[in-house]
């Protein structure tokens, strides 16, 4: 009896948490005025016409491409800088090694909201306002990425590096051919976490850009929301554009993501 | 002057032994390895210095100097910016709003996350258990603006789901985001929904590391249910609980995107109605980037920085007394 109760409670909790996202579908693909129906409509009708209308009447493809470009560049840079620093911290002896480890952890302790004003000034002087570089470079290094790669490289047998050194293989080649391919789970985790934070980026582009051409999807959505106030079907359709890539990626990798968030522990099987 | 305590192991007094031992310590590093090491940390170091540590230090400078982004000169004004700030009623209002917001969101989120984690704990191996965990976590990865759209609909006073539910329960209808009384609680509901999954997963990770023998031993001694939870489970997961409370406090003290989006965006007067949702981070944003009052905004940022630091230290002090580290 208690088991069934718990089972039901779990189902209810999961349904409640997921229902707002489900409602985006219901309203976006429902009949006209579904958002105003009382009692609320519960079943999506899968009318994709309004979604297509919204998609074709605003330059969403531009904004989606902006987000894709910004996310992809950030991901590549984060993987490279994290693998570099993670390797140096795990395998190389140099003065300042542990100091840098703590310094990179310390970045997480800096309150982001308190830094925005001085960051804006720095961006102004570096001429990075209103540029793609300004949306990418500040996120090109990641504490959690460095930490993950460091943990992973520390588990690699020291003999690998010994052999590479005896064979006269350079550090970069060793990283590219041996260490990083072996650290595939760390790469996957870093890629996923960076994608999520990068795709969901909102406040930074809001402050650091004012050109429509550079807008990533979340910022474009925020402006759209102002123009189409309480046109719920249009708004829900537009929200779906920002939501779908995240939902698709999450559907296929949720185990990996949840485990990564729960403490960077990476799955053993590939 | 030279013996600034570079190495603690050698006797003080003369400069030579210290410098020598310092050099000897350097000798254990191979030059080539050192250079490669510096080369490899350089890219991330540059990012951290230019975009994070640099601005953090710069913040100190611009809060104490009257500072204009377009002027090349600035002069030391000491505490002037802070005096101006202290005379702004809206600044105090924003601190009150932030306090109200944090003091409600953090306990609710933590308790709810712990409850959900306990509920989901045994579900991992049951069919559908993984799915319920994924659905509870899902909101945390969704983009804030996109999901705020659906929540503004839910909170719509006329057609929204929230009032429809209240009507079914025969409760009075609320103005939600349109009312100065309920706007901030509405944002709180969104925030709990958006973040509780993260903390649930953290609690689940903590619960999964509990030593089985201890739990079994407690059961043998007759500790079951609530007693076992309070006396055995709770102390064992206290490090995770501390981490969750700390993380939740620091994050909620800096909430921006959902307040901005839910309460009106760029033209709709975010922070309203009647400044009831103007929290510290929103006020910093508006002061700096809407009213272009950079020196005042940096003074506010400085205060926020110090507040977060203080909260972190206080929580650490409390934790040292209460957290049970194995």
pLDDT digits (tens, 9 = 90+) for B119-148: 998 766 666 678 888 999 999 999 999 999
- Same domain for A197 and A163, yes or no, is yes
Per-residue pLDDT at B293 exceeds 60: yes
- Token reading at A1: 């009896």
Determine which helix (DSSP H) or strand (DSSP E) holds B75, and give its type and residue range: strand B75-76
Q: Give B-chain residues touching A122 at CB under 8 angstroms.
A: 50-51, 54-55, 58
Residues A23 and A126 in one domain: no
- Residues A222 and A120 both lie in one domain: yes
- Dist CA A17 CA A167 (whole Å): 55
- Furthest CA-CA distance within chain B: 85
Query: Do the domain assignments include residue A269?
Result: no
B293-307 average pLDDT score: 92
Residue A52's Cβ-side half-sphere holds a number of Cα atoms within 13 Å equal to 4
Q: What is the mean pLDDT of residues A38-54?
A: 78
Q: Which two tokens stand for residue B36?
A: 């490669």
| Cβ neighbours for B27, distance < 8 A, ≥ 6 positions apart | none
B299's tokens: 């003074």
Q: State pTM to two decimals.
A: 0.90
Neighbours of A47 (CB within 10 A): 15
The Cα–Cα gap between B2 and B23 comes to: 14
Q: For the residues A203-212, what does the mean pLDDT come to?
A: 93
**Residue-level pLDDT at B286:** 92
pLDDT bracket for residue A142 (50, 70, 90) = very high
Average confidence (pLDDT) over A205-231: 90
What distance in Å separates the CA atoms of residue B297 and residue B283, rounded to the nearest whole number?
8
Cβ-proximal residues to A88 (8 Å cutoff; 6+ apart), any chain:
A94, A97, B36, B37, B40, B41
The nearest CA of chain A is from the CA of B140 a distance in Å of: 10
Distance separating alpha carbons of residues B184 and B98, to the nearest angstrom: 10
Residues A163 and A205 in one domain: yes
| CA atoms of B128 and B137, how far apart (whole Å) | 14
Residue B127: its pLDDT value, please? Answer: 67
Residue A29 and residue A61 in one domain: no
**Chain B residues lying within 8 Å of A85, measured CB to CB:** 40-41, 43-45
- For residue B297, what are the contacts with CB-CB under 8 A and spacing of at least 6? A117, B284, B287, B288
What is the overall mean pLDDT for chain B?
Answer: 85
- Using 50, 70 and 90 to split pLDDT, how confident is the model at A203? very high
**Residue among A49, A19, A20 at smallest CA distance from A32:** A49
Q: Is B200 in contact with B137 (CB distance < 8 Å)?
A: yes
What proportion of chain B, given as a percentage, has pLDDT over 90? 48
Helices A60-91 and A184-199 sit at what angle, rounded to 10 degrees? 140
What letter would DSSP give residue B7? -
Which residue would you say has higher pLDDT here, A111 or A158?
Answer: A111
Q: Which of A9, A28, A47 is a domain's end point?
A: A47
Contact assignment for A120 to B40 by CB distance below 8 Å: no
Collapsed DSSP state (helix, strand, coil) of residue B66: strand
Pairing, β B75-76 against β B65-66: antiparallel
**Alpha carbon of B161: minimum distance to chain A alpha carbons (Å):** 7
Whether A24 and B48 lie within 8 Å, measured CB to CB: no
Q: What is the CATH number of the domain that holds A106?
A: 1.10.3720.10
Please tell me the predicted confidence (pLDDT) of residue A268: 37
Predicted confidence (pLDDT) per residue in A249-269, tens digit: 999 998 888 888 876 544 333
In angstroms, the CA B134 to CA B123 distance is 12
Which residue in A has a C-alpha nearest to residue B193's C-alpha? Answer: A17
Residue A228's pLDDT band (cuts 50, 70, 90): confident
Q: Does residue A268 sit within a domain?
A: no
Question: Higher pLDDT residue, B3 or B147?
Answer: B147
Residue A70 lies in a domain: yes
Give yes or no: residues A37 and A59 share one domain: no
Together in a domain, A3 and A79: no
Q: Greater confidence, B185 or B228? A: B185
Nearest-angstrom CA–CA distance, A175 and A186: 14
Considering the domain architecture, whether residues A162 and A246 belong to the same structural domain is answered as: yes
On whether both A43 and A66 belong to a single domain, the answer is no
Q: In the beta sheet, which residues pair with residue B75? A: B66
Angle at A61 between CA A64 and CA A36, to 5 degrees: 85
Q: Tell me whether residue A161 is in a domain.
A: yes
Residues A252 and A236 in one domain: yes
Mutation target vs B (from A114, A171, A193; most B CBs, 10 A cutoff): A114
Residue A112 lies in a domain: yes
Identify from B31, B117, B121, B143 which residue to disrupt to test chain A contact, counting A C-beta atoms within 10 A and taking the largest count: B143
Paired tokens of A88: 């140096």
Q: Give A77-122 pLDDT, tens digit per residue.
A: 999 999 999 999 999 999 999 999 999 999 988 999 999 999 999 9
User: Using H for helix, E for strand and C for coil, what is the string for B160-186?
Assistant: CHHHHHHHHCCCCCCCHHHCCCCHHHH
Predicted confidence (pLDDT) at residue B5 exceeds the cutoff of 70:
no
Flag whether A270 is in a domain. Answer: no
Query: Residue A266's pLDDT is what?
Result: 41
Confidence of residue B10 (pLDDT cuts 50, 70, 90): very low
Domain boundary among A11, A27, A47: A47
User: Is the CB of residue A91 less than 8 Å from the CB of residue A161?
Assistant: yes
> What number of C-beta contacts closer than 8 Å exist between A and B?
289
Residues of B in contact with A64 (CB under 8 A): none
Residue B3 has pLDDT above 50, yes or no: no
- Structurally, chain A folds into a number of domains equal to 2
Q: What is the pLDDT of residue B231?
A: 83
| Same domain flag for A244 and A198 | yes
Q: Find out whether the peptide bond into A214 is cis, omega within 30 degrees of 0.
A: no
| Measured distance CA(B262)–CA(A7) in Å, rounded | 34
pLDDT at B179: 87
Residues A217 and A201 in one domain: yes
- What token pair was written down for B219? 């059961």
Question: Within a domain: residue A77?
Answer: yes
Handedness of CA B59, B60, B64, B65 (dihedral sign): negative
Q: Both tokens of residue B38?
A: 């510096």
Comparing A54 with B78, the larger pLDDT belongs to A54
SS (H, E, C) chain A: CHHHHHHHHHHHHHHHHHHHHHHHHHHHCCCCCHHHCCCCCCCCCCCCHHHHHHHHHCCHHHHHHHHHHHHHHHHHHHHHHHHHHHHHHHHCCCCCHHHHHHHHHHHHHCCHHHHHHHHHHHHHHCCCCCCHHHHHHHHCCCHHHHHHHHHHHHHCCHHHHHHHHHCCCCHHHHHHHHHHHHCHHHHHHHHHHHHHHHHCCCHHHHHHCCCHHHCCHHHHHHHHHHHCCCCHHHHHHHHHHHHHHHHHHHHHHHHHHHHHHCCCCCCCCC
Residue A168 backbone class (left: φ over 0; alpha: ψ -120 to 50; beta: rest): left
Is A244 within 8 Å of chain B by CB?
no
Least confident residue range of A62-66, A232-236, B134-138: A232-236
| Mean pLDDT over each residue of chain A, to the nearest integer | 89
How many Cβ atoms from other residues are within 10 Å of residue B170's Cβ? 6
A156: which 2 tokens? Answer: 């690699």
Structural domain boundaries enclosing A35: 1-47
- Domains observed in chain B: 15-78 (no CATH), 84-322 (1.10.3720.10)
């Amino acid at each position: 009896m208690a088991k069934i109760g718990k089972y039901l409670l779990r189902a209810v909790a999961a349904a409640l948490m997921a229902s707002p996202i489900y409602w985006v579908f219901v309203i976006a693909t429902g009949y006209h005025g579904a958002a105003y129906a009382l009692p609320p409509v519960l079943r999506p009708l899968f009318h994709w016409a309004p979604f297509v209308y919204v998609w074709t009447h605003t330059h969403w493809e531009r904004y989606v491409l902006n987000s894709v470009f910004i996310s992809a560049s950030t991901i590549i840079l984060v993987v490279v800088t994290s693998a570099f620093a993670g390797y140096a911290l795990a395998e190389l002896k140099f003065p300042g090694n542990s100091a840098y480890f703590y310094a990179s952890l310390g970045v997480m302790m800096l309150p982001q909201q308190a830094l925005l004003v001085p960051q804006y000034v720095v961006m102004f002087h570096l001429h990075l306002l209103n540029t793609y570089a300004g949306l990418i470079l500040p996120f090109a290094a990641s504490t959690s990425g460095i930490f993950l790669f460091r943990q992973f490289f520390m588990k690699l047998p020291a003999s690998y590096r010994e052999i590479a050194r005896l064979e006269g293989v350079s550090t970069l080649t060793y990283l590219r051919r041996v260490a990083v391919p072996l650290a595939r789970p760390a790469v996957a985790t870093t890629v996923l976490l960076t994608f999520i934070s990068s795709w969901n980026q909102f406040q930074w582009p809001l402050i650091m850009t004012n050109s429509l051409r550079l807008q990533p999807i979340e910022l474009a959505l925020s402006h759209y929301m102002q123009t189409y106030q309480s046109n719920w079907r249009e708004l829900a359709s537009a929200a779906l554009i920002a939501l779908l890539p995240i939902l698709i990626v999450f559907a296929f990798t949720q185990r990996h993501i949840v485990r990564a968030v729960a403490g960077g522990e990476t799955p053993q099987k590939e | 002057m030279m013996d600034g305590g570079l190495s603690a192991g050698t006797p003080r007094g003369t400069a030579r032994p210290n410098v020598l031992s310092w050099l000897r310590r350097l000798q254990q590093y191979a030059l080539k390895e050192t250079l490669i090491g510096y080369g490899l940390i350089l890219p991330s170091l540059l990012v951290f210095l230019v975009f994070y540590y640099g601005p953090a230090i710069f913040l100190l400078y611009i809060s104490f100097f009257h500072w204009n982004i377009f002027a090349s000169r600035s002069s030391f004004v000491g505490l002037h910016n802070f005096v101006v700030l202290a005379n702004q009623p809206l600044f105090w209002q924003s601190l009150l709003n932030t306090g109200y917001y944090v003091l409600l969101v953090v306990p609710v989120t933590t308790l709810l996350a712990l409850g959900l984690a306990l509920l989901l704990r045994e579900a991992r191996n049951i069919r559908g258990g993984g799915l319920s965990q994924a659905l509870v976590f899902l909101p945390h990865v969704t983009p804030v603006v996109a999901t705020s759209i659906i929540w503004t609909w839910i909170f719509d006073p006329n057609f929204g789901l929230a009032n429809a539910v209240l009507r079914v329960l025969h409760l009075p209808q609320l103005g939600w985001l349109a009312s100065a009384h309920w706007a901030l609680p509405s944002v709180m509901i969104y925030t709990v929904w958006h973040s509780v999954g993260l903390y649930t997963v953290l609690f689940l990770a903590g619960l999964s590391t509990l030593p089985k023998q201890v739990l079994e031993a407690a059961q043998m001694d007759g500790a079951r249910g609530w007693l076992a939870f309070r006396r055995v489970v709770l102390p064992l997961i206290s490090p995770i609980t501390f981490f969750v409370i700390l993380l939740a406090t620091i994050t909620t003290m800096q909430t921006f995107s959902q307040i901005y989006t839910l309460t009106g965006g760029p033209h709709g007067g975010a922070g309203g109605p009647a400044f009831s949702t103007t929290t510290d981070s929103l006020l910093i944003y508006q002061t700096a980037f809407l009213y272009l009052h950079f020196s005042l905004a940096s003074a506010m940022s400085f205060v926020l920085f110090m507040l977060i630091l203080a909260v972190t230290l206080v929580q650490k002090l409390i934790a040292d007394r209460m957290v049970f580290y194995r």
